[in-house]
Amino acid sequence: MGKKLKGLRVAVLAADGFEQVELTRPVKKLKREGAEVELLSLRPGSIRGMNLLAPGKKVSVDATLREAKAADFDALLLPGGFINPDLLRQSELALEFVRDFERLGRPIAVICHGPWLLASADLVRGRRLTSWPGIRDDIHNAGGIWEDAPVVRDGPWVSSRGPQDLLEFMPAMVSLFAEHLPQPQARARPKEPARGWGRWLAGGLAVAALGYGLRGRKLLGA
């Protein structure tokens, strides 16, 4: 089978304290499907993941939020973790980034504590989603409709509860993102000036030939 997400640009927004498997496994899946993935964060360098409460590995940041625009991407992945989304929702740059995604109508895949950022951006009001059960009240208080399910799809959003749902979350994410593949640009039509140039050249040759003919008649005394 072909790669479902070839040509798709995906932003992954995370900070220190992200749940490691919620970033690394979906990113591997996206890349296997042909997507171009960039990790965005609050600062350059690298950020450290967590395995629940134990420190995990570091991953390299591709760009900071000061360098990136939502319009440059086709889809957004928000991993969870206890610390990561709490840091992001305190950043006005992160809040504006997700608001811009919503304004553009582009898809968002979010898992675990990731919806904290969407709630702080005032985006979950009236939306159906799931999350880590511990922030169910936060979703309710922000006006969202919380559901206890492995995957919840609401328009351009797909959400899951946590690492235990990754096997359901990843194909749902790919399916959603595949619906928003950028359309290939139409081939440019041949430019008309080439035809105009040809007509000008033909006309000029005709005038020159006529002038030469008249000059020849004069020389012959016609």
The rounded mean pLDDT for the chain is 88
pLDDT greater at residue 205 or residue 172 = 172
Cα distance between residue 156 and residue 88, in whole Å:
21
* pLDDT value, residue 56: 94
Q: Given the residues 29, 89, 106, 113, select the one marked as catalytic.
A: 113
Cα distance between residue 74 and residue 165, in whole Å:
24
102-122 burial, b at 16+ Cβ within 10 Å, e below that, comes to beeebbbbbbbbbbbbbbbbe
Say if residue 36's pLDDT is above 70: yes
- Burial class (CB within 10 angstroms; exposed 0-12, middle 13-18, buried 19+) of 170: buried
State yes or no: is 140 an active-site residue.
no
For the domain 9-178, what is the CATH superfamily, name and number?
Class I glutamine amidotransferase (GATase) domain (3.40.50.880)
Listed by start position, the domains of the chain span 9-178, 192-222
Q: Calculate what percentage of the chain has a pLDDT beyond 70.
A: 82
pTM of the model: 0.83
Compute the average pLDDT of residues 98-125. Answer: 98
Lowest mean pLDDT among 45-54, 92-101, 177-186: 177-186
Q: Which amino acid is at 10?
A: V
Say if residue 1's pLDDT is above 90: no
pLDDT greater at residue 99 or residue 206 = 99
Phi and psi torsions of 105, nearest 5°:
70, 25
